[in-house]
Structure 1
Amino acid sequence: MHAATASRALNESSRHLVQADTLDRVLRAAAELGYTANIAARTLRTATSRAVGILVPDITNPIFPPMVRGAEEVLRSEGYSTWVVNTDDDSARNEEAVSAFRQRNVDGIILATARLHDPALDAALEQGSNTPYVFANRRPARSGVPSVRADEAEGARMVLDHLVALGHRRIVLVAGPQDVSTGRAGKQAFVTYVRKHGLPVLGGQVTECGAFTFEAGREAMRDRLREDTSFTAVVAGNDLMALGCLDSLAEAGLRCPEDVSVVGFNDMMLMDRITPALTTVAIPYREIGVEAARLLVAAMSCAPRRKSSVVLKPVLQVRESSAPPPKKASRQKR
C-alpha cells in the first residue's frame, strides 16, 4: 500500500472512531439529563411527523378495534405512531378530524368512515391533496381511490346458497343503512341472489335500517312480524342487528332455528358463544387494517403502487342459528 493511501485510510478510521466516541458521550449526557426528542421541532424541520391519523365512525362497534390494531401493527413496524379519532359518523366531525390531522402534519390518513357521500369530508381531503389516504372497510364513491374492503357480494352469495341448500324459500333481509357502502352492497347482493335462485319476491322482503345496531334490528323485526310471519329465514346486515332480530322473534314466541333461521354478518366476538350460536359471515377486519396500512405506507414512501384497492374474501361460519325450515303444520307462535 502506498504511504499516501495508508495515511488517508488511517485518518478516515480515526475520524470514525472520534465520531463514535462523541456520539456515545452525547447519548450518555442526554440520558442523564432526561432529554427526549422534540417531535414538533423535527416535524417543522423535516416536513414529516412519522404519524398517521386513523378515523373511525364508532369505536364502540366491535368491528373497528381489530381493524385499528391491524393497522397499528404494520405502522409501528415501519416507525409510525398512530392517532385514532372517533367521529360518531358525524359529517362535521369527520371534516374537523381530517383538518386536525393535516394541521399536525400527519404523513397519511386511514379512513374507516361510513357514509357513501360526505361532501364535508371530501372537501377536507381535497384541501389536503398532498396527504396520502386510504379507505378501510368502505367502497369509495370515486374510482381509483385506494381502499380495502371485504367482498360483500360474495358473502351474500354464500348466505343465500346456504339457506337455499337447507330448503328455505321465503327469506327476508334486515338491511343496513343505504347511505353506507356496506349496507347498500349487502342489499344489492341479496336482491341479486334471490333472483338467481328463483326465490319468491315477498312484500316488504327488505327492511332498511338507519343504523347497524341491536336496537335497529329489533325494531325492524318487530315491524316485519306485525305485517307477516310466513318467512322462514332472516338475513341481517350485521351481527348486532341479528341479535336484535333474535330478541324480537323470541318476544313473538318464535324459536330460532326451529321456527326461523337467522344469519348475521361480520362474525363479531362471542357470536359462537350465544344461544343459539350465530351462523354468520366472517369478515377479516384485522387484515383489512393490515392491508390498508400497507397501501398507505407504500403511498407515503412514494413506492410504485401495484393496485389501488384490495378486496378480501369472507368466510361463512355455519352454526346453530340456521337449520332446515319447519313444516307448515309445526310452526306456530308460542
Structure 2
Amino acid sequence: MDRAPTIKDVAERAGVHAATASRALNPATRGMVNTRTANRVLEAARTLGYAPNSAARSLRTRTSSVAGVIIPDLRNPVFPPIVRGIEDELREAGYMALVGNTDGDPERERELVTAMRGRQTDGFILATSRRGDSVRTEGGVPVPTVLVNRRTDAGDIPSVTADNAAGVHVLVRHLAGLGHTRIGHVAGPRELSTGWERYRAFLDATTSLGLNPGGEPVEFAEAFTEAAGHAAAARLFAAHPDLTAVLAGNDLLALGCYSALADLGRSVPSDVSVTGFNDMPFVDRQRPALTTVRIPHYDIGREAARLLLERIGSPAAPAKRVVLPVELVSRDSTGPVAS
C-alpha cells in the first residue's frame, strides 16, 4: 500500500463496518463492541500499521485521549511507580497522561484541574483527594475521575488502593508474635484515607489481640513525611515512654521514628521495634533495614488507568472499589522485646 492506511482499510481487513472499526479503535467506546470483534479490528490496525488521527478524532468526538494525573508530591517514592503504571496502561489504549504535582496544596489542585479541563482532558486520576470529597462535576456533569491510593468515605468515586487493613493487621500480629504488648502508632494525616484506614485498622488489630491495656498510644502526623514522623514520634514517646514497638503509617514516617528514637538515645530494634508501610525502594538499605508491608505500586497505577478508561466509556456506571493484596516484608528493624 503506497498510501497511509485509513479507517476504511482497517474495517475492510477486519470484515466490519467503518463505524464499528472506529468504535473499536477508540478506548472510550471500545466497550460498545463485542470483545472478539474489537480484537479483530485491533489486530487489523496493527497489521496495516494504522495510526489514528488523534486531532481529527478530538474534533469529531470532543475527546482528547489525554488523562490528567494529579499527585501530591512526586518526591515521595510511592508515586513514581504508580505514575509509570498509569502511563503504561494509558499508552496501550492510545491515551497519554498529563501529570501535575500539587505539593499537597488544595488550591494548587483546583488550579491544575481547571487548567487540564481547559485542554479537553477526558478524565482524571487523583492521588490527592481527601476523605470528605465527593463526585466532581463541571457544569453539573460528572467528570470521569478515579482515585489512586486514596478513596472517599462516601465511596462515590472509583478507587484503587492497597489492602491497608490487612497490612496493618499482619504488622500487629508480627509484633505481637515477638512479644510486644505495648505498641504505639505514628499515624498518617487523618483527613487522608490512607492515614485514617491504617489508624482504624491499628485500633482493631490491637484490641482484638488484647494489646495496649489502658489506652491506645497514637499520634497523628501532619503529613506523610520523615520530618512529620519525627515530630509525631517525639510526642508519642514523651507521652508513652514504656512503648517497646511503634507501627508507622508509612515508610517515611518510620524513618522519622528512627531519628526521634536516636535523639532519645534509644536504638532500633534492641530498645524499640519499628515498622513502616509501602516498602519504598530505599528502605531495605536503611540501618537497620525496615520491616514493612509491600504494596503493588505499579499494579495500582495500571488498575487505576483501566478504571478511568471504563469510566470514560460508561460515565454513569456504579463506582468500583478495587483493593489489591499486600505482603509482610520482615527485616532487621523488628525483634523480640528486650528482657
The question of a shared fold, defined as TM-score above 0.5 by the shorter chain, is answered with yes
State whether residues 99 and 124 of structure 1, in contact with CA within 8 Å, keep that contact through their aligned partners in structure 2. Answer: no
State whether residues 129 and 147 of structure 2, in contact with CA within 8 Å, keep that contact through their aligned partners in structure 1. Answer: no
Partner of 2:137, secondary structure, is: helix
Match of 1:146 in 2: 158
Aligned match for 1:258, one of 259, 270, 273 = 270
Counterparts of residues 84-123 of structure 1 (less than 5 Å):
84-118=99-133
Aligned match for 1:172, one of 170, 184, 200 = 184
Distance 1:78 1:123, change over 3 A: closer
Report the residue type matching 2:257 in the other structure: C
Match of 1:311 in 2: 323
Distance 1:22 1:260, change over 3 A: closer
How many residue pairs get aligned? The number is 294
State whether residues 217 and 240 of structure 2, in contact with CA within 8 Å, keep that contact through their aligned partners in structure 1. Answer: no
Structure 2 residue 98 is matched with structure 1 residue 83:
yes
Single out whichever of 231-240 and 298-307 deviates more from structure 2: 298-307
Partner of 1:298, secondary structure, is: helix
Q: Distance in 1 between matches of 2:4 and 2:300?
A: 42
Aligned match for 1:200, one of 212, 228, 248 = 212
1:7-48 C-alpha deviation (Å, 9 max, x unpaired): xxxxxxxxxxxxx55558xxxxxxxxxxxx996665334311
Distance 1:155 1:45, change over 3 A: same
Structure 2 residue 76 is matched with structure 1 residue 56:
no
Q: Distance in 1 between matches of 2:138 and 2:238?
A: 47
Report the residue type matching 1:62 in the other structure: P
Quote the sequence identity (%): 46
Partner of 1:311, secondary structure, is: strand
How far the C-alpha of 1:305 sits from its partner, in A, is 6.1
Q: Distance in 2 between matches of 1:196 and 1:287?
A: 31
Partner of 2:190, secondary structure, is: coil
Q: Distance in 2 between matches of 1:173 and 1:22?
A: 65
Match of 2:282 in 1: 270
How far the C-alpha of 1:285 sits from its partner, in A, is 1.3
Report the residue type matching 1:89 in the other structure: G
Aligned match for 1:246, one of 258, 276, 300 = 258
Structure 2 unpaired stretches of 5+: 6-51
Distance 1:241 1:303, change over 3 A: closer
Q: Distance in 2 between matches of 1:123 and 1:133?
A: 8
Match of 1:6 in 2: none
> In angstroms, what is the RMSD of aligned CA positions?
2.4
Q: Distance in 2 between matches of 1:199 and 1:236?
A: 17
State whether residues 170 and 202 of structure 1, in contact with CA within 8 Å, keep that contact through their aligned partners in structure 2. Answer: no
